[in-house]
């Protein structure tokens, strides 16, 4: 693939990140009389932790430290240079913990849950969708279509709610919340690993069940279009075995637009899984975001949003760079 | 498909109307009944921890949720249609600008921006403001898809004839292009409403919605806030969930049905 294409996608990535970062900077400042520092201190006074007179002096000290008393453009420049060094500031609720230290422990949980669930849903969904469109496939698979349809219309987290109630509360097959048992210390033993998986099954299940419908339906659509193509007819006329045509001719070509659909839906999938984490109290980014929202911890909120924007932009970039490798036609077009 | 979707939606509207005229909405306010009661003959859907009667809450809250979705969807479609037509028909620099802006806006995940906006506005949030916020992120997808459709239609013969017979650009857009795109616009609109309702409920479940309105999403939020789940109070969170599911399924079916009408190629999927 051409250098121009790569540079173009990189530029897009930087523009998206810049747009997200600027949005995070300006939006809070557009709201009238919003002063996170004073609000926070006011709350601490109300909880009886501080003398009211000193609050004003403390607020001014904070502002000087965070640079909130400087002109706006200077704040912006400081902000951008901080972000570039991944200095996301200090958490308001857990001062003096840095925002990165609040977010960092949550990231592996989210990546593993999201990654595994999406991988399972995408692969099984695509396979199922392909089979549904293939005349030679078993007939009973058609019966899966209506429930898949129904599930794909339900938002992830609502499905999670139902699953919690049914399987965790009523039937007590799975734990109600959390990533692991409360008093267990993390260790690299097999027992801990099993526990992690045990706690992750329900959240993963709600993501998988709800998104598998979408993947299989869209794959089915692609496969139907591909089946009408001439090369499939040629392959059948050549006498190739049906399974081989299915995998290497039909599925392989239908996977290309499916991958595009994956790239476009990354944002939705991430948002959905964040809400699932909140429902399950799973200790990932979702729960961290929720805690930050309820605790009015603005800097953590902005930090998490920044992380989400960068993650999605990066994933889109990677998929955009992989796509020409999968589809040679793109390589010559985008030259 | 379209028929069943419309039928479900109509059924919900009829049920709601029956409820609206037989139950007093003021009972949806807190402290109108004893708290934490399971369903009984007097309180058909029970009460929550703040004393709200849940049947009244459902009847009061459903139109609010739908209202947010409709306003946001309509506004998003309106902006998206204008931008899509402009971008697709006129092309050139305008097209590049609008398309790049839409692409960037599409990549930034909506929930992230919504969380930032909503967490800032907080106190004065009303359903209308929530709808406006969601609409600001709902215009991108219609813009892109409408632009794609306009691009294919622009080169058709009837547009050329219209141009030759002296119609100016705006007349061509309104008299030739829009009528041909109507089924597609309708399908897009339903899709926009559906995703707006999804975004609204997502925000409300996070607690960032209008705090004083008993919408469906806020009911779920309060159910979690007061620990309704481990207390086994299924009557608190199950009705909103069921209503939401039915709403989404019916909207989805309507959108699919409209899509089939707009896109006859999809109709031959009998496999």
pLDDT at A240: 81
Indicate if A38 and A142 belong to the same structural domain.
no
CB B140 within 8 A of CB B110: no
| Residues written for chain B | 271
- Minimal Cβ distance to A274: which of B111, B207, B269: B111
pLDDT at A166: 78
Q: Which helix (H) or strand (E) holds B239?
A: helix B234-262
- Minimal Cβ distance to A16: which of B108, B224, B237: B108
- Minimal Cβ distance to A267: which of B110, B208, B271: B110
Q: B237 to chain A: which residues are within 8 Å by CB?
A: 161, 165
pLDDT at B110: 76
Q: B252 to chain A: which residues are within 8 Å by CB?
A: 149, 152-153
Indicate if A273 and A211 belong to the same structural domain.
yes
Q: Considering the domain boundaries, does residue B11 fall inside one? A: no
Count of domains observed in chain B: 1
- Minimal Cβ distance to A165: which of B116, B117, B229: B229
Q: Considering the domain boundaries, does residue A143 fall inside one? A: yes
Q: B37 or A112: whose pLDDT is higher? A: A112
- Minimal Cβ distance to A301: which of B109, B116, B220: B116
Note whether A289 contacts B115, CB cutoff 8 Å.
Answer: yes
Note whether A312 contacts B107, CB cutoff 8 Å.
Answer: yes
Q: B5 to chain A: which residues are within 8 Å by CB?
A: none
B108: which residues sit within 8 A by CB, 6+ positions away?
Answer: A16, A19, A20, A23, A267, A309, A312, A313
Residues B168-195 have pLDDT tens digits of 777 777 777 777 788 778 888 888 888 8
Count of domains observed in chain A: 2
Residue of A nearest to B265 (CA): A225
Indicate if A100 and A149 belong to the same structural domain.
no
Q: Considering the domain boundaries, does residue B253 fall inside one? A: no
- Domain of A87? 3-104
Q: Considering the domain boundaries, does residue B68 fall inside one? A: yes
Q: A20 to chain B: which residues are within 8 Å by CB?
A: 108, 112-113
CATH code for the domain of A263:
1.10.3720.10
Helices (H), chain A: 3-30, 36-46, 52-66, 72-84, 99-103, 106-133, 145-153, 156-163, 190-227, 230-238, 242-244, 252-280, 285-294, 298-326, 328-333
Q: Considering the domain boundaries, does residue A332 fall inside one? A: no
Query: How far does the CA of residue B252 sit from the closest CA of chain A (Å)?
Result: 7
pLDDT at A202: 81
Indicate if A36 and A118 belong to the same structural domain.
no
d(CA B54, CA B218): 12
Residues B213-244 have pLDDT tens digits of 778 888 888 877 777 777 777 777 788 888 88
pLDDT at B270: 39
Tokens 């409408």 locate to B146
Residue of A nearest to B105 (CA): A16
Q: Considering the domain boundaries, does residue A92 fall inside one? A: yes
Other Cβ atoms closer than 10 A to A240: 15
Indicate if A164 and A288 belong to the same structural domain.
yes
Indicate if A78 and A116 belong to the same structural domain.
no
Domain boundary among A104, A123, A146: A104
- A232 part of contact set with chain B, CB < 8 Å: no
**pTM of whole model > 0.80?**
no
Average pLDDT of chain B to the nearest whole number: 77
Indicate if A116 and A202 belong to the same structural domain.
yes
Quote ipTM for the complex: 0.73
Q: B238 to chain A: which residues are within 8 Å by CB?
A: 165
Note whether A164 contacts B116, CB cutoff 8 Å.
Answer: no
Residues A194-219 have pLDDT tens digits of 777 887 888 888 888 888 888 888 88
- Domain of B33? 16-246
Indicate if A78 and A18 belong to the same structural domain.
yes
pLDDT at B269: 42
Q: Considering the domain boundaries, does residue A326 fall inside one? A: no
State the Cα angle at A265 between A180 and A178, rounded to 5°.
10
Q: Considering the domain boundaries, does residue B268 fall inside one? A: no
Residues B74-112 have pLDDT tens digits of 998 888 888 888 888 887 888 888 888 888 888 777 777
CB B191 within 8 A of CB B144: no
Main-chain dihedrals φ then ψ at residue A136, nearest 5 degrees: -80, -5
Main-chain dihedrals φ then ψ at residue A98, nearest 5 degrees: -75, 155
CB A326 within 8 A of CB A259: yes
For residue B268, pLDDT beyond 50: no
Q: Considering the domain boundaries, does residue B6 fall inside one? A: no
Residue B211, helix vs strand vs coil: coil
CATH code for the domain of B98:
1.10.3720.10
Q: Considering the domain boundaries, does residue B242 fall inside one? A: yes
**Closest listed residue to residue B177, CA positions, set B109, B111, B262, B85:** B85
Main-chain dihedrals φ then ψ at residue B121, nearest 5 degrees: -75, -40
pLDDT at B47: 75
Q: Considering the domain boundaries, does residue B125 fall inside one? A: yes
> What does each C-alpha distance from B75 to A60, A83, B94 come to in angstroms?
42, 34, 21
**Closest listed residue to residue B252, CA positions, set A75, A240, A284, A149:** A149
**Closest listed residue to residue A293, CA positions, set B225, B212, B113, B116:** B116
Q: A209 to chain B: which residues are within 8 Å by CB?
A: none
Q: B115 to chain A: which residues are within 8 Å by CB?
A: 289, 293, 301, 305
For residue A115, pLDDT beyond 80: yes
Average pLDDT over residues A148-163: 80
Q: B251 to chain A: which residues are within 8 Å by CB?
A: 153
Residue of A nearest to B209 (CA): A293
Average pLDDT over residues A276-285: 83
- A202 part of contact set with chain B, CB < 8 Å: no
Indicate if A203 and A57 belong to the same structural domain.
no
pLDDT band at A185 (very low <50, low <70, confident <90, very high): low
Supply B12's token pair: 């919900």
Q: Considering the domain boundaries, does residue A306 fall inside one? A: no
Q: Considering the domain boundaries, does residue A93 fall inside one? A: yes
Indicate if A257 and A269 belong to the same structural domain.
yes
Supply A251's token pair: 């599925």
- A264 part of contact set with chain B, CB < 8 Å: yes
pLDDT at A334: 46
pLDDT at A143: 77
For residue A335, pLDDT beyond 50: no
Give residue ranges of B with CB < 8 Å to any A CB: 100, 103-113, 115-117, 119-121, 198, 201-202, 205-208, 220, 224, 229-230, 232, 234, 237-238, 241, 244-245, 248-249, 251-252, 266, 269, 271
Indicate if A98 and A203 belong to the same structural domain.
no
Residue A51, helix vs strand vs coil: coil
pLDDT band at B199 (very low <50, low <70, confident <90, very high): confident
Q: B208 to chain A: which residues are within 8 Å by CB?
A: 293
Q: Considering the domain boundaries, does residue A321 fall inside one? A: no
d(CA A220, CA A132): 6
- Minimal Cβ distance to A31: which of B108, B112, B120: B120
Q: Considering the domain boundaries, does residue A232 fall inside one? A: yes
Q: Considering the domain boundaries, does residue B79 fall inside one? A: yes
**DSSP-assigned states of every residue in A239-267:** T--HHHIIIIIIIHHHHHHHHHHHHHHHH
Indicate if A222 and A260 belong to the same structural domain.
yes
For residue B211, pLDDT beyond 80: no
Query: How far does the CA of residue B108 sit from the closest CA of chain A (Å)?
Result: 6
Residues A244-273 have pLDDT tens digits of 777 777 888 888 888 888 877 887 888 888
């Amino acid at each position: 693939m051409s250098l121009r294409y790569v540079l173009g996608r990189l530029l897009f990535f930087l523009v998206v990140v810049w747009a997200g970062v600027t949005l995070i900077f300006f939006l809070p400042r557009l709201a009238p009389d919003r002063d996170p520092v004073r609000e926070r201190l006011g709350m601490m006074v109300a909880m009886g932790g501080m003398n009211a007179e000193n609050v004003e002096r403390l607020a001014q000290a904070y502002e000087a430290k965070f640079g909130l008393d400087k002109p706006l453009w200077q704040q912006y420049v400081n902000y951008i240079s901080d972000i570039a060094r991944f200095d996301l500031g200090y958490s308001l609720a857990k001062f003096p913990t840095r925002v990165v230290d609040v977010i960092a422990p949550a990231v592996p949980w989210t990546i593993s849950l999201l990654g595994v669930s999406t991988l399972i849903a995408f692969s099984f969904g695509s396979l199922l969708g392909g089979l549904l469109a293939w005349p030679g496939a078993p007939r009973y698979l058609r019966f899966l279509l209506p429930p898949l349809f129904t599930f794909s219309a339900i938002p992830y987290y609502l499905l999670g709610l139902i699953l919690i109630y049914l399987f965790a509360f009523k039937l007590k097959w799975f734990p109600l919340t959390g990533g692991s048992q409360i008093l267990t210390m993390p260790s690299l033993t097999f027992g801990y690993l099993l526990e992690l998986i045990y706690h992750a099954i329900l959240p993963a299940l709600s993501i998988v069940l709800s998104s598998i419908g979408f993947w299989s339906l869209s794959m089915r659509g692609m496969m139907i279009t591909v089946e009408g193509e001439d090369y499939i007819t040629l392959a059948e006329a050549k006498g190739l075995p049906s399974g081989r045509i299915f995998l290497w001719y039909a599925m392989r070509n239908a996977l290309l637009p499916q991958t595009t659909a994956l790239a476009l839906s990354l944002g939705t999938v991430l948002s959905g899984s964040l809400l699932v984490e909140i429902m399950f109290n799973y200790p990932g980014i979702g729960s961290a975001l929720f805690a930050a929202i309820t605790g009015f911890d603005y800097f953590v909120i902005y930090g998490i949003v920044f992380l989400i924007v960068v993650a999605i932009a990066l994933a889109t970039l990677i998929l955009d760079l992989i796509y020409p490798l999968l589809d040679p036609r793109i390589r010559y077009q985008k030259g | 498909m379209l028929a069943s979707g419309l039928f479900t939606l109509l059924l919900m509207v009829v049920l709601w109307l029956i409820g609206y005229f037989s139950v007093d909405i003021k009972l949806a306010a807190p402290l109108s009944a004893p708290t934490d009661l399971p369903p009984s003959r007097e309180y058909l859907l029970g009460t929550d921890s703040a004393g709200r009667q849940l049947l009244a809450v459902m009847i009061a809250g459903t139109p609010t949720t739908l209202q947010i979705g409709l306003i946001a969807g309509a506004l998003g479609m309106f902006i998206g249609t204008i931008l899509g037509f402009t971008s697709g028909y006129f092309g050139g620099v305008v097209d590049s600008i609008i398309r790049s802006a839409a692409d960037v806006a599409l990549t930034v995940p909506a929930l992230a921006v919504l969380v930032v906006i909503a967490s800032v506005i907080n106190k004065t949030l009303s359903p209308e403001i929530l709808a406006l916020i969601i609409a600001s992120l709902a215009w991108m997808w219609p813009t892109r898809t409408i632009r794609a459709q306009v691009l294919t239609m622009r080169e058709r013969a009837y547009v050329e004839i219209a141009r030759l017979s002296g119609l100016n650009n705006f007349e061509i857009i309104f008299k030739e292009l829009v009528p041909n795109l109507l089924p597609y616009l309708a399908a897009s609109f339903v899709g926009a409403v559906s995703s707006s309702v999804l975004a609204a409920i997502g925000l409300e479940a996070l607690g960032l919605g209008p705090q004083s309105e008993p919408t469906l999403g806020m009911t779920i939020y309060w159910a979690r806030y007061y620990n309704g789940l481990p207390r086994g109070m299924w009557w608190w969170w199950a009705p909103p969930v069921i209503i939401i599911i039915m709403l989404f399924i019916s909207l989805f079916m309507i959108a699919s049905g409209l899509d089939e009408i707009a896109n006859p190629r999809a109709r031959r999927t009998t496999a």
